[in-house]
Chains A and B, each alone.
Chain A
Amino acid sequence: MSWPGGDPCPADALAELALGTLAGEERSGVLAHVARCRTCQAELAQLAVVADDLLLLAPVAEAPLGFELRTVERLRAAERDGCSVDRGPGHPALPARRWRRGLVSLAAAVLLVLAGLGIGRLSASPGRTGRTPERPAVVLAPLSSGGHEVGHVRVVTAGVTWLEVTVGKGLGSGLVSCVARLRDGRVVQLGWFQVGPRGSSWSVRLDADAAQLASAQLLGPAGAVVATAQL
């Protein structure tokens, strides 16, 4: 195959270019050809889509326990250390941003649109029409047992509050009860669930406000504390 009046189309190299494995002079030569050849431009675009989509077939592996926390800490560290932030072509790199606790205008606008479409669950209740929807809040804390992290507890407030417990493999298996200790000293029984040998995830809706929670604990059948998350 060749383009009218030019050098032959580099079929082999085009695939390698799409896969990102072509280098050096060969890459330069192919790019120069593609810049002039509409047929190869179209072919390259199609092959590149397939090459990228192949990554979707990669296996899903459970990230190590605490990965999420460590990653978020790393993002925060990057912010503190003053990493540059790419704001797109034509914009100079900005100094580090500060993590923002409130929804900034753009994200808020997007979410408001979603809520209006019924996609999200962030819109105000009927009696609160006209109020700005509150941002859902999440508190994520490691769940520890004997000084080791065995999972995490997440408390989510978005109109209602619910608590989610995720236990990894390190806790062992068996029936546990989950209790919440409130800041005023009260202890609230939240429910029971079975921890399997490969871990478990369990959630419950809370009547208490998230701000009242001091900790969540998992108790064994005899009532002994087997794991605690400080909230």
Chain B
Amino acid sequence: MVHGGFPPGEQVPDEALLAGMAVGDEGAGIAFVRRYQHRVFGLALAILGDPGLAEDVAQETFVRAWRHASVFDARRGSAPTWLLAIARNLAIDCMRVRRALPRDPEDALWLERASLDRPPEETALGADTARRLGRALAAIPAEQRRAVLLAAVHGRSAREIAEIESIPLGTAKSRIRSGLARLRDAVSTEEVW
């Protein structure tokens, strides 16, 4: 049995949970795991494609978050992006250790589908940001979208993307730069409104 925790449904801010974790409060740890387990597992599964490995990576992600909760700085980003970055890095490390083959670049397109199709409650955490970015992502050219997602989510370098896409290195670099810049511009424009 697991004892301790915050009642389900309580909207205790992430920062409060991380503050609790930083000083060893089990309840805060449980609540944090409960809040983000599906997101972390989902990202790991999307990168690795193996449920067993994805669970291992997801669990290790929460162990890392527990250990380093005290150095989380809300001024440098939100808790979910911090946590998901840990998960992404662990998944990429796991993939490289296993010498996994690069995934089909079309697989990266799950991101746009997920962002546009999911019900609003699933994007409640970082919902506005996710929606704006999802719209911007859908609006940029497909080749730029693939390049950006392969780099941002799958950790692929420009050289690796060039090989995957069978394009010159310069073209891969250009697609990454143009895609990311357009996303930045689109999100900035929406923020004005």
- List the interface of chain A (C-beta within 8 A of B): 11-16, 18-23, 46-47, 49-64, 67-72, 74-75, 78, 83-89, 97-101, 103-107, 110-111, 114, 119-121, 135-141, 154, 156, 158, 164, 230-231
Contacts and interface: CB of A to CB of B under 8 A. Distances in A.
Interface string B1-37: 1111111101111011001101111111110011001
A68 B39 contact: no
A164 B9 CA distance: 12
Contact of B8 (A114, A156, A230): A156
B75 interface: no
12 contacts: A19-B152, A49-B77, A55-B85, A56-B123, A57-B112, A61-B41, A61-B42, A67-B58, A99-B24, A138-B4, A141-B1, A156-B8
Contacts of A231: 1
A76 to B, nearest CB: 8
B46 A20 contact: no
Say what secondary structure dominates the interface of chain B.
helix
A89 B71 contact: yes
Interface in B56-72: 58-59, 62-63, 66-68, 70-71
Nearest to B41: A63
A53 B129 contact: yes
A16 B63 contact: no
B81 A55 contact: yes
Interface of B: 1-8, 10-13, 15-16, 19-20, 22-30, 33-34, 37-39, 41-43, 45-46, 51, 55, 58-59, 62-63, 66-68, 70-71, 77, 80-81, 84-85, 88, 110-112, 114-115, 118, 122-123, 125-126, 129-130, 133-134, 137, 148-149, 151-153, 155-158, 173-174, 176-177, 180-181, 183-184, 187-188
B26 A99 contact: yes
A139 B181 contact: no
A14 B177 CA distance: 8
B39 A58 contact: yes
Contacts of A230: 1
A54 B148 CA distance: 9
A137 B85 contact: no
B3 A101 contact: yes
Given A16-B151, A57-B114, A138-B5, A50 B187 contact: yes
Interface centre among A60, A70, A78, A137 (most CB of B within 10 A): A60
Given A56-B126, A120-B12, A68 B180 contact: no
